[in-house]
Amino acid sequence: MPTLVELFADKIAEAGVDVVFGLPGGENVDLLDSLRRWGIEFVLVRNESSAIFMADVHARITRGIGAALTTLGPGASNAYAGIAHAWLDRAPVLLLTAQTDPKLIGVHTHQVLDLGSVFRPVTKFTAQLMPDSASDTIDYAIALLKSGRPGPVHLSLPAAGALKEVHSSSRPTRQSTREISAEDVARAKNLLASSRRPVVLVGLGLEPDRPYSQLRALAESLHAPVIDMPKSKGALPADHALFVGTLGLTANDPAYEILDSSDCILAIGFDVVELVRPWRQPQPLIWIANWNDQDPRIDSDCELVGDIAKILDALLDSPVGVDEAWGEGRVQMWREARFSKLPTASAPNRISPADALDSIRACTPPEVIVTTDVGSHKIFTCLHWKAMQPNTFFVSNGLSVMGFGLTAAIAAARATREPTVCITGDAGLAMVMGELALIVEMDLPVMVVVMNDSALDLIRFAQTRKNLQIFGTEFANPNYEAIASAFGLSFARIQNKSECEVAVQAAVASRRPTLLEVMIDPAGYR
Ligand SMILES: Cc1ncc(C[n+]2csc(CCOP(=O)(O)OP(=O)(O)O)c2C)c(N)n1
Ligand SMILES: [Mg+2]
């Protein structure tokens, strides 16, 4: 009979896990050894939440599940931001933590936290593995990760149980498949037929279904402008005649102009968790997703839940009667009004955010993966970056947690081995700076672009808007050249567009781990 840790390694390997991200404690060494013996790679992170961010991105790129490992109390609680991200950003990540021997709970308190209570609000399921039931518990936890709306699960393993022999069973867990009713399809078609100005709104739930060709075909047949959300950027290429822009960054995102003037919303894989203001669109809404409209439920006139590609195919022959001034023409007008206005840098030796992103876009291939951290640079990057292919843009947007950007880029480059760009603020980079070591250890083609403004710019801007004094939002940055050299990354400091182009071209060509310090003019974010 296998031991409990062997059973765990066996079951996650069977579920397709070939890498675990984590930072172990003494209680994990038997499990770590079983991962080694099962040929599962272990990526040793420098901070536990990084492990969850990486497991999320790994899952999203491979269409699989992510796995992370930490020790008990301190390691588990250090993973909280990561798990909270996986919860609100709908990521199928299995977190395995250690735990104290159940016999000692109540007697011994050193490093002991009630991890079930800690993780229950931010997981789909949390349980302690017990030798008698571990096999079924692991099966259940793995099946839950991706059933319905994806999300994290937490299992804890008391060190005392690690080497107990356990009974292994394999219960096939049924994935519920929802049949799409002909009645619902007919109702959706009627709504579309009577719409003069339909709009498509896509969100984080397009992955892992990837119904991108069906989405494009349906939008084109309806002449419906497409608005994406940060986590679905690239679903329709940014240069497509029907692509409008990205929603979910501010209360007045420019794309609201198109959304507000539409008369029917086709919401596909949409999740209001990505919006910074409550949902209050009065138009008829057709809900298409792999999970029920829930949490919070928004008003919809028709709910189609199931395989998104099949649903979109079923709607493809909907009759259309859109206004002539809608569709491609309306999108073109909107773009012209918007893109004529972007500022260039006003401060000396500073580059504007638009110039920085435009030169990165011009010097990288269409399929380049971009990740962003959280702050003013995130809002600007989500609104301005032209994503040309699906699933090439990674951001924490449900939780919007700092520290995600760098770790996401590491996981993306590790999984794809392709040039990956991380756009991060200086404060966000400082939170996870230790992870720079992983880029060099794994020799990844990651370009870390740090927007140096010596400030929590987004928070400083909130002070300015309220006419408050700047207080507690500015800081001094380290010498980034020395940081790059200490970690073993190539380095360049950038003060204008041509320097940016030269540095990005060099980084892409060399595929070397690179840190680019961009002397940003934060006035350009506004
Ligand atoms: C872990 C975490 N702490 C705090 C915040 C709140 N917050 C959002 S943006 C921001 C400032 C980020 O500063 P920086 O990384 O330099 O980006 P900038 O706004 O300057 O572009 C803060 C503190 C957060 N989202 N996540
Ligand atoms: Mg900053």
pLDDT in tens, 144-171: 999 999 999 999 999 888 899 998 887 6
Angle at 349 between CA 343 and CA 354, to 5 degrees: 30
Give the position, in ligand 1's atom list, of the atom nearest the Cα of 403: 1
Distance CA(219)–CA(317), nearest Å, equals: 12
Counting Cα atoms < 13 Å in the Cβ hemisphere of 281 gives 23
Q: What is the pLDDT of residues 466-496, one digit of tens each?
A: 999 999 999 999 999 999 999 999 999 999 9
Return the residue whose CA atom lies nearest to atom 4 of ligand 1. Answer: 402
Residues in contact with 347: Cβ distance below 8 Å, sequence separation at least 6, in sequence order: 521, 523
* Cβ of 425 below 6 Å from ligand 1: yes
| Residue 41: predicted pLDDT | 98
| Residue 175: predicted pLDDT | 59
Distance CA(260)–CA(171), nearest Å, equals: 49
| Residue 341: predicted pLDDT | 63
Distance CA(383)–CA(61), nearest Å, equals: 22
Exposure b/e, 36-62, CB count within 10 A at least 16 = b: eebebebbebebbbbbbbbbbbbbbbb
| Residue 338: predicted pLDDT | 81
Q: Which among 25, 3, 93, 15 is positioned nearest to 53, based on CA atoms?
A: 93
Which of the listed residues 357, 374, 429 should we mutate to test ligand 1's pocket, taking the one with most ligand atoms within 8 A of CB?
Answer: 374
What are the φ and ψ backbone dihedral angles of 306, each rounded to 5 degrees?
155, -155
* Cβ of 27 below 6 Å from ligand 1: no
* Cβ of 272 below 6 Å from ligand 1: no
Q: What is the dihedral of CA 11, 16, 17, 18, to 10 degrees?
A: 120
| Residue 105: predicted pLDDT | 82
Give the position, in ligand 1's atom list, of the atom nearest the Cα of 400: 25
| Residue 174: predicted pLDDT | 57
C-alpha 254 to ligand 2 mean position (Å) = 24
Counting Cα atoms < 13 Å in the Cβ hemisphere of 122 gives 22
In the chain, which stretches have pLDDT less than 50?
A: none
C-alpha 192 to ligand 2 mean position (Å) = 45
Quick check: helix, strand or coil at residue 410? helix
Tell me which residue has tokens 């798990």: 83
Determine if residue 16 is left, alpha or beta; phi over 0 gives left, psi from -120 to 50 gives alpha, anything else beta: left
* Cβ of 375 below 6 Å from ligand 1: yes
Q: What is the dihedral of CA 103, 104, 105, 110, to 10 degrees?
A: -160
| Residue 221: predicted pLDDT | 96
**In what helix (H) or strand (E) does residue 236 lie, and over which residues does it extend?**
none
Return the residue whose CA atom lies nearest to atom 11 of ligand 1. Answer: 456
Ligand nearest to the CA of 454: 2
Task: Extract the tokens encoding 473.
Answer: 């939002």
Burial (0-12, 13-18, 19+ Cβ within 10 Å), 101: middle
Distance CA(59)–CA(442), nearest Å, equals: 19
Q: Which among 110, 103, 76 is positioned nearest to 161, based on CA atoms?
A: 103
Task: Extract the tokens encoding 247.
Answer: 């929603």
* Cβ of 19 below 6 Å from ligand 1: no
* Cβ of 318 below 6 Å from ligand 1: no
Ligand nearest to the CA of 88: 1
**One-letter amino acid identity for 122?**
V
Ligand nearest to the CA of 430: 1
C-alpha 350 to ligand 1 mean position (Å) = 21
Q: What is the DSSP letter of 288?
A: E
C-alpha 476 to ligand 2 mean position (Å) = 10
Q: Which among 73, 25, 30, 15 is positioned nearest to 164, based on CA atoms?
A: 30
